[in-house]
Structure 1
Amino acid sequence: MDFISREDLSFLLHDWLNVSALTEREAFGEHSRDTFDAVLDLAADLARDTFAPHYKSADANEPRLVDGKVETLPAIAEALATYAEMGFFASSFPEEVGGMQLPSVVSSAAFAHFCAANLATAAYPMLTAGNARVLVEFGNQAQIDTWAKPQVEGRYFGTMCLSEPQAGSSLADIRTKAVPEGSDDFGDRYRIKGNKMWISGGDQQISENIVHLVLSKAPDENGVQQPGIKGISLFVVPKILPDGTRNDVAVAGLNHKMGYRGTVNCLLNFGEGEGAIGWRIGQPGQGLALMFQMMNEARIMVGLGAAAMAYRGFTQSLEYARERPQGRPLGQKDPNSPMTAIVEHADVKRMVLSQKAIAEGAMALVLYSASLVDEIKTGADAATRARAEALLGLLTPITKSWPSEFGLVANDHAIQIHGGYGYTREYDVEQIYRDNRLNPIHEGTYGIQGMDFLGRKVMGDKGAALAILGEEIAKTTARAAAVPALAKMAADLTGYFNDGCAAITELQGRADPARLMDNAGQALSAFGHIVTAWLWLEQALTAHDLDDSRARLRDGKLATCRFFFEVELPKVSHQLHLLRSANDAAAAVSSDLF
């Protein structure tokens, strides 16, 4: 079975986002709707036939460290070899580096199939694409030719090496050091020593080489070590050096996780001997700024993976609910009467509809964000591109966090619908939950994303990006106000967005500056619901115009939009109350009382 509705993806891409219009732009002029659909069909088939079959076996047979080498399930390598052969590593890259030059929104929709089929196996190409993109954007030509292009081909895999055992998200506190050692054909060369923790794909025997992007403290051009993040530079550190010898990078141990078990996760030691050889990317002190490109791309991809897991749980629990007979309608007393499928029971309908609202809402959020990437790269003029960049910056913490947090709510419903079978390993939904549980932590926790959203993205630019979001929402509500079935939703959405903006203004006037971020997570969740409601209203507007030949899709979208507005969106009121009142029920408690 397909874990993501092909009909729904087509609706989102063609009816709503009108991706065919992108082919009128020079960058995508070689493509057409037919090529987009062919890629999506191939992705769905390949995900079902090569990624999905080892979903459970990779979970049961975790990577092992044997005599200093990491062993993984052979089926993972086989699936990724086919993925590379079909060109999917290259999907979103420009032609000049060997890419297919697909729009980001189409590439993301295709990748959603692989995430839904096997999130752990999909992690390898996700990280590889992000790594290669940093090199293509910021590396010199020798670095691009030597390490980026083989990743675009799928021969080399990539990682991101940020966290350390003592410094997770607090990157200013990393201790890895880089000492200059002259320069060569690949740029300024350094010897790197330190330890990196939680490195997904950190070692494996699948690819010909592994390209590590490593954040490290390094002196500036004057030989002075700057404090904090100003002293961090970014380095490309390959497992195998260009001359074919092994670099000084060793696996110190494997981390054993509750989910994503097919993805190798390592503690890496750089420089157990003379030091790992690495080449600086960009200028000294630019490390974190350059790495943010990969981090932000990874955040959107984490959101995509979470949306895909929510979607798979929804699809499988819906199928189960339709096939599982249990109980009879209220009032039916005859024990010999046929039992009804549990999907007909009101509480099961509620859980199915909640999953649909979350899964399809999260998918719309991720694909909309991906469409902004295309607008940033190929928009008609500088003002259009700048507007898209500001909006994407604002939405990135939401796109990462809302699917991750509420995708778990959907997965919890999927388990509940399965009843006792739901928490057994015979069914997929317990593993789906475990896999998805990592996503609220991946690429920054909910609290960190909340501070990024409220502190940097809203207050940091004095509400400029929030105003752009408001303008986009106003365009939608103006259209919806003219449709009787959607007019009240339009008014409700306007009210909640205005309340959110007012709550932030009140917070700034009420709170001690040191306490402004105490309820940042509430702000992120509230605006996540508001943004998702906006995108549901967009979907409803699009669906409303469909003819009767697509009545099931049309009516399903309208019903789910109504459910989200009547059941989910009102939860925003309490979150905004906590925000505007600078509530300190948690922050004021002394840790000694726990």
Structure 2
Amino acid sequence: MSAYALNRRDLDFLVFDWLRIEDLLDRPRFADHSRETLSSMLDLSETLARDLFQPAYKKSDQVEPWMDADGVHVIPEIAAAVHEHAASGLMAGAFDHDLGGLQAPLTAATASVACLMGANLSAAGFGMLTMANARLIATFGTPTQVQTFAAPQLTGEATGTMCLSEPQAGSSLADITTLADADGEDALGRRFRLRGTKMWISGADHDVTGNIVHLVLAKTPGPDGRPLPGVKGISLFIVPKTLPDGERNDAVVTGLNHKMGYRGIPNCVVAFGDGFAKPEGRPGAVGYLVGEVGQGLAQMFQMMNEARINVGLGAAMMAYRGYRQSLGYAQERLQGRAGGSATPTPIADHPDVRFMLMTQKTYAEGALALTLYCARLLDEEQTGPTPESARRLLDLLTPIAKTWPSEQGLIANDLAIQIHGGYGYTRDFDVEQVYRDNRLNPIHEGTTGIQAIDLLGRKLARDEGALADLLTRIAATSAKARTGDLADCADALDQVWSRLSDHARSIASPLSPQALFGATQALRAWGHGVVAWLWLDLALTASEGPQDDFNEGKRAACRFFFTYELPRIGLWLDAAGAGDTTTLTLPMEAF
């Protein structure tokens, strides 16, 4: 059995050679850092992944979180991994010095998280949600709220959640009914009492930390005392499990969702204000308003978008893990006689297996490049000379960064099982668990169809400037490639992006039913177009490095993607623009 191990050179190539993270170190925010300090961050991340996260991988799948009268519990190995992640300082890595952070580039912090995700996706989920929660409070909260609720999360005293969906309102947040009534004010800000139920909340209760900080979307009442319709009145509240005075808040998990994968972190139903742990005084869970009434959805988009990119990152690392394990297996497993050999040969010598391995490589490494590129844009938005341009481009790429790794990464994991043969679908080998873990990601933080509507209806149809910025960057890559032996790839990329640009100009807002029908096909085309550009850029970087097997592999992956994957773009765009109404006009009884 081939054990998983990160190829550290893959990460260093992306972070240092391709994204040129050292170029950031001249900026004041990152003045304390050097290549050595950032490499040390990744060294420590690798150590945590190997020594704590990876050993808990199988057990956290076999022993799911459980609930009893004392609350929700996870295996102690998960708790140890989360605590060491916080104690190492890596959880606070990208945060300000004032919060105990290292003020490291987000690119490095994201690469650090990638190491942990590859070792144990669900264990890394605690830190991913906690960092996003603390970052939101640090951005929009008062100084007192930041010190009371964000700072303890970065030291491992608390973890964080995001509470959006409800049983009757998954992605349709306009339909949430959790209500928040004003309840005065104290040193932590405007206090409210929340009543309602939230669903699908990861990490909503556990015995890893003493406190849990929930960020909850709720509606303030209208004149008739009922929630305002639509998104009006949606506000954001900090609702801790334990209040600052030590009293238990009325936020209680009432049930666990039993998942096919990603089992190491509990997924919960949470009742706010149902009286299970009611504090003295008025009924309802105590929550503190973040910002102003009605700003909740806009504020939460920061955490949602960060989570979407992290979902893509996790999917990329599951694809990467499956690829590395099937590569090792294919080199070890003797089966058949390739090339006329008289004795059994490794299955890696068979053409079909090689094709599957290269498909996995292009999907997994392309997905990781895409998500790290988005982290680099976050650094540009925070410290660069053109922050608005970086922000708009990141907005455009976010639905792609969430979806392409989730969809293509799952295909890569499917191929990993195929390469393992019968062993692949047994629990003795990791790849069946990796597939189950990754299957949740096309649903997490907005399904593929929702991301498609976001890309077409909100991004491409409304922001021509972001697309212009993207096309400028793509043109620069093509121009550079045209001077060398990748000129044919540059020509192919230009043709594809001419077609994608025409598609963007054809989009009208609001989207028609026909456009909605083809939106997912269009999203796939755009994802492939973006990743093709990145692969060409990666190949150019590899061409500048030592001409060894590693860099030759990057160049070969680029050519493979252009040969076998680029033609799909035209087919998807044809389908997206066909205007077929078969399923729209078919009576439901005929389905």
Distance in 2, Cα, partners of 1:201 & 1:402:
25
| Equivalent position SS for 1:230 | coil
- The reply to whether residue 373 of structure 1 matches residue 378 of structure 2 is yes
Say whether the 8 Å CA contact 2:177–2:227 is kept in structure 1: no
| Equivalent position SS for 2:259 | coil
The partner residue of 1:311 within 300, 320, 328 is: 320
Against the structure 1 CA distance between its residues 173 and 203, is the aligned structure 2 distance closer, same or farther, given a 3 Å change threshold? Answer: same
TM-superposed CA distance for 1:347, in Å, is 0.3
The partner residue of 1:147 within 129, 149, 162 is: 149
> What does residue 394 of structure 1 align with?
396
TM-superposed CA distance for 1:221, in Å, is 11
> What does residue 306 of structure 2 align with?
297
Which letter does structure 1 place at the counterpart of 2:482? Answer: A
The within-5 A match list for 1:101-500 is: 101-219=103-221, 226-273=228-275, 274-332=283-341, 337-380=342-385, 384-461=386-463, 463-483=464-484, 485-500=485-500
Which letter does structure 1 place at the counterpart of 2:316? Answer: A
- Structure 1 gaps of 5+ residues are none
TM-score (norm 2): 0.96
Against the structure 1 CA distance between its residues 572 and 141, is the aligned structure 2 distance closer, same or farther, given a 3 Å change threshold? Answer: same
TM-superposed CA distance for 1:71, in Å, is 1.4
Which letter does structure 2 place at the counterpart of 1:115? Answer: M
Distance in 1, Cα, partners of 2:466 & 2:198:
35
TM-superposed CA distance for 1:220, in Å, is 7.2
| Equivalent position SS for 2:559 | helix
Distance in 2, Cα, partners of 1:117 & 1:561:
27
Against the structure 1 CA distance between its residues 6 and 585, is the aligned structure 2 distance closer, same or farther, given a 3 Å change threshold? Answer: farther
The partner residue of 1:566 within 550, 555, 563 is: 563
- Structure 2 gaps of 5+ residues are 276-282
| Equivalent position SS for 2:255 | strand
Say whether the 8 Å CA contact 1:458–1:464 is kept in structure 2: no
Distance in 1, Cα, partners of 2:586 & 2:352:
38
Which letter does structure 1 place at the counterpart of 2:500? Answer: G
> What does residue 555 of structure 1 align with?
552
> What does residue 525 of structure 1 align with?
524
Distance in 2, Cα, partners of 1:287 & 1:33:
39
TM-superposed CA distance for 1:342, in Å, is 0.3
| Equivalent position SS for 2:162 | strand
Which letter does structure 2 place at the counterpart of 1:153? Answer: T
| Equivalent position SS for 1:179 | strand
Shifted more, 214-223 versus 107-116: the winner is 214-223
Which letter does structure 2 place at the counterpart of 1:434? Answer: R
Distance in 2, Cα, partners of 1:422 & 1:95:
46
Say whether the 8 Å CA contact 2:4–2:325 is kept in structure 1: no
The within-5 A match list for 1:570-589 is: 570-589=567-586
TM-superposed CA distance for 1:514, in Å, is 4.5
Shifted more, 322-331 versus 449-458: the winner is 322-331
Say whether the 8 Å CA contact 1:12–1:364 is kept in structure 2: yes
Q: Deviations over 1:531-576 (max 9, x none)?
A: 000000000011112233xx11111011110000000111111111
Distance in 1, Cα, partners of 2:142 & 2:185:
13
Distance in 2, Cα, partners of 1:277 & 1:146:
15
TM-superposed CA distance for 1:473, in Å, is 0.4
| Equivalent position SS for 1:193 | strand
Distance in 2, Cα, partners of 1:177 & 1:33:
49
TM-superposed CA distance for 1:432, in Å, is 0.1
> What does residue 16 of structure 1 align with?
18
Distance in 2, Cα, partners of 1:431 & 1:365:
24
TM-superposed CA distance for 1:222, in Å, is 12
Distance in 2, Cα, partners of 1:378 & 1:199:
33
Distance in 2, Cα, partners of 1:512 & 1:477:
32
Distance in 1, Cα, partners of 2:334 & 2:171:
48
Distance in 1, Cα, partners of 2:347 & 2:503:
42
Say whether the 8 Å CA contact 2:518–2:577 is kept in structure 1: no
Distance in 1, Cα, partners of 2:511 & 2:10:
46
Say whether the 8 Å CA contact 1:159–1:212 is kept in structure 2: yes
Q: Deviations over 1:441-466 (max 9, x none)?
A: 000000000000011010022x2211
Say whether the 8 Å CA contact 1:503–1:577 is kept in structure 2: no
Shifted more, 128-137 versus 3-12: the winner is 3-12
Say whether the 8 Å CA contact 2:161–2:214 is kept in structure 1: yes
Say whether the 8 Å CA contact 1:342–1:348 is kept in structure 2: yes
Say whether the 8 Å CA contact 1:248–1:276 is kept in structure 2: yes
Distance in 2, Cα, partners of 1:37 & 1:68:
42
| Equivalent position SS for 1:563 | helix
TM-superposed CA distance for 1:591, in Å, is 2.3
Say whether the 8 Å CA contact 1:507–1:579 is kept in structure 2: no
Distance in 2, Cα, partners of 1:504 & 1:593:
34
Q: Deviations over 1:348-404 (max 9, x none)?
A: 000100010011101110110000000000012xxx111101100000000000000
Against the structure 1 CA distance between its residues 346 and 522, is the aligned structure 2 distance closer, same or farther, given a 3 Å change threshold? Answer: same
Q: Deviations over 1:500-524 (max 9, x none)?
A: 1212434549x98344322111111
| Equivalent position SS for 1:190 | strand
